[in-house]
Structure 1
């Protein structure tokens, strides 16, 4: 055991003895299901760090923006404003499709099979 691991272990033991872990939220309950089950083990930590930091892939961000624009269009009463929102949505759809094409998603049979589930998970 290296020096820093020894210090950490000692601090954990002291905290346990003081009862500092007794009233933690979720104590005795199972951990939430890992939503990165399809991600290779060596990439999971990186994905979790990015996710916790609020970073998402560009296609996910675009999809979120597209959903927001679709919702705004659905409730918009002004024709001029609706036209502008529709134009912005069309631009985002084109950018999204270009990103997906660059990643060769359109050629993936697995992607076509699970596309609706993937999109539902994105937003």
Structure 2
């Protein structure tokens, strides 16, 4: 919408007109959730409900980058332990190590990273011993 509010017209009148014209054009028809009750009306008020809903809907994370990298590193270590081959273990660890080294060179926001690259040979030896 590029139309500006005309001088001398109250915002309420101008906005009401914009909404009415959009309804007449059918721009509000077939919206997702049309005709369904609003979720969360019976729940306690939460000022950040819309942020939490957006994160849930987009399957995002609210972790600071350093904490997310720690989480990714732990997941990589678990994935390496379940890997089907030594090559897969090495690939998983090399990918996460590259991210860790990048984060050490170019610090990310959040609490201190406190993470060092994995010793690939040590983890591969552990993987072999578990087989």
Task: Classify the TM-score, shorter chain.
Answer: 0.3 to 0.5
Which structure would you say has the larger RCO, counting Cα contacts within 8 Å and 6 or more residues apart?
Answer: 1
**What is the TM-score normalised by the length of structure 2?**
0.37
Q: Which has the higher helix share?
A: 1
User: Which of these two proteins has the greater Rg computed from alpha carbons?
Assistant: 2
**What is the TM-score normalised by the length of structure 1?**
0.39
